[in-house]
Amino acid sequence: MSLVTSKEMLLHALENRYAVGAFNANNMEQIQAIVEAAEEERAPVILQVSQGAIRYCGLELAASMVKSIAKLATVPVVLHLDHGTDYLQNIRCFRVGFTSLMYDGSKKSYEENVATTGRVCELAHTAGIPVEAELGCVLQSKDNVTPEEVRAAMTDPDQAAEFIRLTGADSLAAAVGSIHGMKSREARLDIDRVEAVRKATGVPLVLHGASGVRHDDVVESIQHGICKVNVATYLNQAFVRGMRQAMEDMPDNVDPRKFLAVGRDEVKEAVREKIRLFGSAGVVSASGGTVSKPRQFRSAELGGTEA
């Protein structure tokens, strides 16, 4: 099927208390792995590219690969810009057919964040394209952040309500305790804050930095308003692990496809695991329609709560 927008997808998730997996891809193999995993799990899926991925791959090529693979897919696929940090980046993605945008003004002043988010929304909404915004700031683990810094950067529910009212943003990346780029799963979320921000804003919330969050916290946050969960680091780890193992197993091989295919298989398994955790498995029927009541979580699928 053709690409769809994230608007209806996230509202359905909000209504039915599951989250759509938003998986970052940097190359063809990762895109294939993500879409194949979503098809096997019968899950709607958001394929997202960061500005770094766009620099690596080229905007036109990234967009056309996702469109081609989505066209053959039997589940709905969204092409989303992850952390577009300026207005023009959003416009460029809008022009090449992204079906979901993000303007991240979290490092700017509140006033500037409001103004630019509003401008991106104004343009995108003319074509029915939804926009994710960020308020508060999900920090980076490479900056060696302290727990105090994480807490100080969290989203304020009252300010979030005003922000959504002023900008018209369709979903909000809320800073609720996670950190980008964590390689181990030990971050705890402020679930009360998730609930408060959802109540104050009424829009679907997005969890960034989910690779480093304990599984039970991810599941609980979904019950309180998280509708999109971003996963990047965990998939990159899987891809590299697969390739590294393949290189060790086949030291004389010079066909890169043999290494890349093992990386792709590892990514696919990692995506399937996350889809089941987020409760979006089985949401799409065999005919491609959306099932209104997804399967409930089963504790055995939560994969434990280890760090």
Instruction: Please list the active-site residues.
Output: 82
Cα 59 from chain centre: 18
Residue 208 touching Zn ion (CB under 5 A) = yes
Is-contact 36 14, C-beta < 8 A?
no
CA distance 128 to 120: 12
Q: Which of the residues 130 through 189 are near Zn ion (CB under 5 A)? A: none
Q: How far is the CB of 235 from Zn ion (least distance, A)?
A: 13
Nearest Cα to Cα of residue 181 among 237, 240, 244, 104: 237
Nearest residue to 44 (alpha-carbon basis) of 27, 22, 26: 22
Q: How far is the CB of 102 from Zn ion (least distance, A)?
A: 9
The span from the first CA to the last CA of the chain, in angstroms, equals: 38
- Least distance in angstroms from the C-beta of 50 to Zn ion: 8
Residue closer to Zn ion by CB (options 52, 288) is 52
Asked if residue 224 binds Zn ion (CB under 5 A), the reply is no
Q: Is residue 268 near Zn ion by the rule CB under 5 A?
A: no
By C-beta, is 198 or 208 nearer to Zn ion? 208
Q: Using CB under 5 A, count the residues that bind Zn ion.
A: 1
Which residue stretch of 57-65, 109-117, 200-208, 288-296 sits at the interface with Zn ion (rule: CB under 5 A)?
200-208
Cα separation, 26 vs 48, in Å, equals 9
Which pair of structure tokens corresponds to residue 74? 């039997």
In the complex, the smallest distance separating the C-beta of residue 234 from Zn ion, rounded to whole angstroms, is: 13
Structure tokens at 222: 């979904």
- Residue with smaller CB distance to Zn ion, 208 or 272: 208
Nearest residue by C-beta to Zn ion?
208
Q: Shortest approach of Zn ion to residue 83 CB, angstroms?
A: 6
As a whole number of angstroms, the distance between CA 19 and CA 5 comes to 15
Write each residue from 70 to 99 as x if it is in contact with Zn ion (CB under 5 A), else as -, in one continuous string.
------------------------------
Q: Which is nearer to Zn ion, 208 or 214 (CB)?
A: 208
CB under 5 A: which stretch of 73-81, 122-130, 192-200, 203-211 binds Zn ion?
A: 203-211
Least distance CB 86 / Zn ion (angstroms): 16
Shortest Cβ 229–Zn ion spacing (Å): 11
Query: Which range of residues in 23-31, 197-205, 207-215, 277-285 is near Zn ion by CB under 5 A?
Result: 207-215
Nearer to Zn ion, 134 or 266 (CB): 134
Q: Which is nearer to Zn ion, 80 or 208 (CB)?
A: 208
For Zn ion, give the closer residue by CB, 38 or 179.
Answer: 179
Query: Contact positions toward Zn ion, by CB under 5 A?
Result: 208
